[in-house]
Structure 1
Amino acid sequence: MVRRCLVAGWLWILCATPVAWAKSEARRPNFIILLADDLGYGDLSCYGSRQISTPRLDRMAAEGIRFTDFHVTASICSPSRASLLTGRYAQRAGLPFVLFPTERKGLAPEEITLAELLKPRGYATACIGKWHLGFLPPFRPARQGFDYFFGLPYSNDSAKQPADKPFDPVLAPVELPLMHGDEIIEAPVNQETLTERYTEEAIKFIRQNRDRPFFLYLAHTFPHKPLHASERFRAKSRGGLFGDTVECIDWSTGRILDALKQAGLDGQTLVVFASDNGAAPAGQFKAGQGAGGSNGPLRGLKFTSYEGGFRVPAISRWPGKIPAGRTCTELATAMDLFPTFAKLAGATLPRDRVIDGKDIWPLLTKSAARTPHELFCYYLDNQLQAVRSGRWKLFLEQTEYPKVATILYTNRPQVLERHFPLRDQPSLYDLDRDLAESNDIARDHPHIVKRLEQLAHDFDRRLQADRRAEVIVTR
């Protein structure tokens, strides 16, 4: 009798243990992307800023991994966001340029976003903050896999078009709207408290979904101009109003990390912080708003194909999974989040399209891992400007200015020459030795130039053949 009981007991343990293990392991990880707008490579104190204090982001880096070679795929808002959410170069996805509020374009409904990738795996999905992938109903977050949306449909500089002024495509048909789902709940929105309101909505979403996996995409409005800060943060930073907005985002990051810990989700959540592109030109900011952002040691700014436009601060944290206190110097990109999240969630990548992003889980977890990218491409609109392979970056011959340059700087030839120089021959830079891209060594390395030119030609030819047409709603 005793022996029979012992055998029965062991059988129960052997049967029950896998069930208990499966239950604990079945919970898929949560994903949070915190995206700043126009935050430069040198705008966080953990990236060398002496004017802006970011203790919570510094702590996030100390508890996780800080990237020094993290790139977005566009140096301007809309295409950068399209690439992040689809894992594809924005040119391939049919959204190569920034969207103005009056345009009838947007991210193609046929594109598969991270939200759409994760929903079939049981994920709750939320987009909070700046969308900027299409204002009209077919392009809004709900049509791209997001259960919940609270934020702005486009950039905060899109004020209402005055009836007595010439038409300006940058301006909007309505006052800057704050939306909840498809409903406008406030117009014009009070921008001073936007970051705080986004944060509270994000925390609410986390608490409401603590018992199921979730994907939270929090895309901050700032430090994109025009700059605004609440009384709590105004005039507190040595970096002026620009610094005030960044320090508010730092506070927001801390609040969200605290909320995860309080909900018992700290060890179940991968959090990624990054910027959508480099810092904007200081001339965009009004007097009294600070000197604008800093790209630290990098050449170039937002809008350009230099490192200052494409290389951004990026931090990842997942206690117990990502070793703390590491710095990754390998090339990684925003579009890599798509296949990386897919792997961690057990989702299957789409097989009917090219996914340009690569799984960077090894970079996040292993110090010996190397970049999965043989080639990285720098596009402005549909024009391939430069390519990167390892330490080498090659600027291609350019006989005409990119679209962004002709819109912004047609009457400013000195700016055009400095940031968008035409080239009758390629320029080569060794980024390991010359991060500032100041010493053209193309003549010293003709074989490298030839190899990179061929890689660029082959990649662009394939991409252009595969490029989705821009989607325009006619009515």
Structure 2
Amino acid sequence: MKVLQIFGVVLVCLISGLKGYTQTDLKKPNIILIYIDDLGYGDIGINGAVGVKTPNIDALAKNGLNFTDAHCAAATCTPSRYSLLTGSYAFRNNAAILEGDAPLIIDTTRYTLPDMLKNAGYTTGVVGKWHLGLGDGNTNWNQRVSPGPAEVGFDYSFLIPATGDRVPTVFIENQYVVNLDPQDPIEVSYGKAIENAYPTGREHPELLKQYADNYHLGAVTNGISRIGYMKGGSSALWVDEQTPYVLTNTAKRFIEKNQDHPFFLYYSFHDIHQPRIANVNFIEASSMGPRGDVIAQMDWCVGEIEKKLRELDLLENTLIIFTSDNGPILDDGYVDYARELVGDHKPGGPYKGSKYSVFEAGTRVPTILSWPGVIKPGISDALLSQVDLYASLANLLAEKNPGKKAPDSENHIDAWLGKTQKGREFLLEEAYAFGLRKNNWKYIQPKENATVPGWITQKYVDPGFSTHPQLYNLETDPGETTNLAEDFPQVVIEMEDKLNTIFKKPRL
């Protein structure tokens, strides 16, 4: 019997060696996806941040793999989150930034990333910002809100329903509003005003902690004016300054509760999205005002998650994926002087663009993977997209290839784990225009109408619109300053042909 056992161990080791994985890989890792909001490539210390320190994230990078060319799927939040969870490009479902009362944008018949992980034996949870819609379009916030996370693969959920700057400003746990008094029901509107609703920032600016643009002068809760109108639910309203603690403690409880079997935690931060309201413990933690302070606050929260894993002796068997939903933005609705106080700090690092922009910083985001004993510490230049996490994790767990279930997701698990520097051949960048990467080439498809909407102009964003093709060599021109389209017409044709293949239409 002992001989047979020894033979079995040797056989397993040989098989795993042939596959390129160690015996440690054979045990299903816990998976924690830490998804920061509006964090730019250059907003962390390891990537050159100035004026704010991120020691916990830097340590994660030092002990893991720091990616220099990894991308979210789109330059705005809802589209990126949709692609992340479905393995499908957002344009295929016309996914766009949703209001707080929008219906669930993910088809409940679709097989999602959490569905795949559940099928692989994982308990799945989401904590934090959702912004994928809830309900069916006629949402009653005073009962179970459905459909929601449970209908798309999550066993547990604790949500900010949309964003911090949109009503309703309440937490929702397992699709019920937390601490709701039935005698004080919630009513939400994104159209006409509600009678006897919360005062608005437009009519009562004296109530505001932070002034806002015209779009954000709706209901005032906790001294912050939001988008939309709201009535009721006073016992359930969140306090912005406490949000990072509420979310992080909830995430830690999920980890502790599920420590004895594989779990997947999608921890979707509110920071560093506006309104940027730092807890008193982090005020003046940076030299950049509120935006820098909430970066420091966010870093502390990341450290708390790793600390909990260490306490429970789970760190060695946990794959941590740290990244962002889109590029950075300084002015995005509230007056917190981020643009005036940025100093020498470069939120997008050496890259041009921002949130809402098709230029490189719109989707090239900080990305770190850590799995002690499996991922060798270092730096990777592999070209990767978050849309590929679906197929890559499925391959890691020996689940069936998602195929049509995740039509745009490619398996690049070897690149994610640092076993190769080879990633995608082509990578789509979605914004309000379309970009395409191949190696160091960056192509931006021309727009028939290149007029920049006023709401984008007000945010000091260059979206990258042009009626002419744009082609850049990022190796020599990371700032996308010199258009080489006329010098390399064959590259333009190749890139346009590939884009049209993705769009499923012939090149005209």
- What is the TM-score when the length of structure 2 is the normalising length? 0.78
The 3-state SS of whatever aligns with 1:429 is strand
Is the 8 Å Cα contact of residues 86 and 406 (structure 2) preserved in structure 1? no
Q: Say if 1:99 and 1:105, in contact at 8 Å, map to a contact too.
A: no
Equivalents in 2 of 1:330, 1:441: separation in Å?
Answer: 24
Say yes or no: does 1:190 pair with 2:242: no
Uncovered stretches (5+) of structure 2, i.e. residues with no partner? 17-22, 136-144, 169-188, 203-213, 219-225
Paired residue type of 2:357: T
Q: Is residue 295 of structure 1 aligned with residue 348 of structure 2?
A: yes
Q: Counterpart of 1:224?
A: 273
> How do residues 124-203 of structure 1 correspond to structure 2 at under 5 angstroms?
124-136=123-135, 137-159=145-167, 163=194, 171-174=227-230, 187-203=236-252
Equivalent position of 1:471 in the other structure: none
Aligned to 1:70: 70
Q: Which residue of 2 aligns with 1:377?
A: 428
State whether residues 392 and 410 of structure 2, in contact with CA within 8 Å, keep that contact through their aligned partners in structure 1: yes
- The amino acid that maps onto 2:312 is A
Write out per-residue CA displacement over residues 367-392 of structure 1, whole angstroms, 9 at most, x where no aligned residue: 64311x222222236xx522211111
Counterpart of 2:230, as a letter, is V
Give me the whole-angstrom Cα distance separating, in 2, the residues matched to 1:451 and 1:108: 33
Deviation at 1:282, TM superposition (A): 2.9
Q: CA deviation at 1:131?
A: 0.6
Paired amino acid for 1:355? P
How far is the alpha carbon of 1:110 from its aligned partner? 2.4
Whether the 8 Å CA contact 2:100–2:167 is kept in 1: the answer is no
Of stretches 292-301 and 267-276 in structure 1, the one that deviates more from structure 2 is: 292-301
| SS of aligned partner of 1:443 | coil
| Change beyond 3 A, Cα 1:274–1:16 | closer
1:267 aligns with 2:316: yes
Give the structure 2 partner of residue 334 of structure 1.
Answer: 386
- Specify the alignment match of 2:85 in structure 1: 85
Contact 1:279 1:308 in 2 (8 A): yes
Per-residue Cα deviation, 1:30-88 (whole angstroms, up to 9, x for no partner): 11000111111111111101111000100000000101111111111101001111122
2:402 matched residue in structure 1: 350
Secondary structure of the structure 2 residue equivalent to 1:235: coil
Q: 1:186 to 1:61 in 2, by over 3 A?
A: farther
**Distance of 2:5 and 2:274 partners within structure 1:** 63
Aligned residues: 439
> For 1:13-28, what aligned pairs fall within 5 Å after superposition?
27-28=27-28
Q: 1:444 to 1:349 in 2, by over 3 A?
A: same
Q: CA deviation at 1:11?
A: 6.0
Tell me the secondary structure at the aligned position of residue 319 of structure 1: coil
Q: How does 1:336-415 map to 2 (within 5 A)?
A: 336-366=388-418, 368-371=420-423, 373-380=424-431, 385-401=434-450, 406=453, 408-409=455-456
Residues 1:289 and 1:351: Cα distance change in structure 2 (over 3 Å): closer
**Shift of residue 427, structure 1, vs aligned partner:** 1.3
Structure 1 CA distance, aligned partners of 2:4 and 2:354?
66
Q: Which AA in structure 2 matches 1:294?
A: P
Q: Are residues 1:316 and 2:369 paired?
A: yes
Asked whether the 8 Å contact 1:126–1:216 carries over to 2, the reply is yes
Query: In structure 2, what is the equivalent of residue 48 of structure 1?
Result: 48
AA partner of residue 406 (structure 1)? P
Partner Cα separation in structure 2 for residue 55 and residue 323 of structure 1: 20
Whether the 8 Å contact between 2:33 and 2:321 is mirrored in structure 1 is yes
Q: Deviations over 1:297-344 (max 9, x none)?
A: 2111111111121111111100000001x1111211111211121122
Of 54-63 and 115-124, the range deviating more from structure 2 = 115-124
- Note the alpha carbon deviations across 1:146-204, whole angstroms, 9 max, x for none: 1111120101111466547899798345369xxxxxxx896321111111211111111
**SS of corresponding position for 2:490:** helix
Matched, 1:445 2:488: yes
Could you tell me which residue of structure 1 aligns to residue 208 of structure 2?
A: none
Paired residues of 2:52 and 2:287 also in contact (CA < 8 A) = yes
Mapped to 2, the partners of 1:224 and 1:409 lie a distance apart of 17
Task: Give the structure 1 partner of residue 57 of structure 2.
Answer: 57
Q: Compute the displacement of 1:277 (Å).
A: 0.3
| 1:436 alignment counterpart | 479
Deviates more, 1:303-312 or 1:57-66: 303-312
Shift of 1:406: 3.3
Structure (1/2) with the larger helix percentage: 1
Supply the distance in 1 between the matched residues of 2:5 and 2:425 (Cα, whole angstroms): 52
Q: Is the 8 A contact 1:108 1:139 kept in 2?
A: no
Compute the RMSD of aligned alpha carbons: 3.2
SS at structure 2 position matched to 1:437: coil
Amino acid at match of 2:89: Y
Q: Please tell me whether residue 110 in structure 1 is matched to residue 153 in structure 2.
A: no
Q: Is the 8 A contact 2:394 2:402 kept in 1?
A: no
Aligned AA (2:41) = Y
Deviation of the 1:347 alpha carbon: 1.8
Distance in 1, Cα, partners of 2:501 & 2:2:
65
The structural deviation recorded for 1:366 is 4.0
- Partners of 1:12 and 1:400 lie apart in 2 by 69
What SS does structure 2 have at the residue aligned with 1:232? helix
Q: Deviations over 1:256-308 (max 9, x none)?
A: 11211221211211001001000114364414567468112211111111112
- Cα distance change, pair 145–409 in 1 and its aligned pair in 2 (3 A): same
Q: C-alpha distance in 2, partners of 1:396/1:133?
A: 27
Which position in structure 2 is the counterpart of 1:234?
283
Q: Secondary structure at the match of 1:35?
A: strand
CA contact (8 A) 1:385 1:398 kept: no
SS at structure 2 position matched to 1:388? strand
Distance 1:385 1:10 in 2: 60
For 1:131 and 1:368, locate their aligned partners in 2 and report how far apart those are by CA, in whole Å: 33
Q: Which runs of 5+ in 1 are unaligned?
A: 1-7, 177-183, 465-475
User: Which of 281-290 and 70-79 deviates more?
Assistant: 281-290
Task: Determine the C-alpha separation between the residues in 2 that align with 1:80 and 1:356.
Answer: 13
CA–CA separation in structure 2 for the residues paired with 1:16 and 1:451: 50
Partner of 1:4: none
1:338-360 CA deviation, whole Å, 9 max, x = no partner? 11211222222333445322222
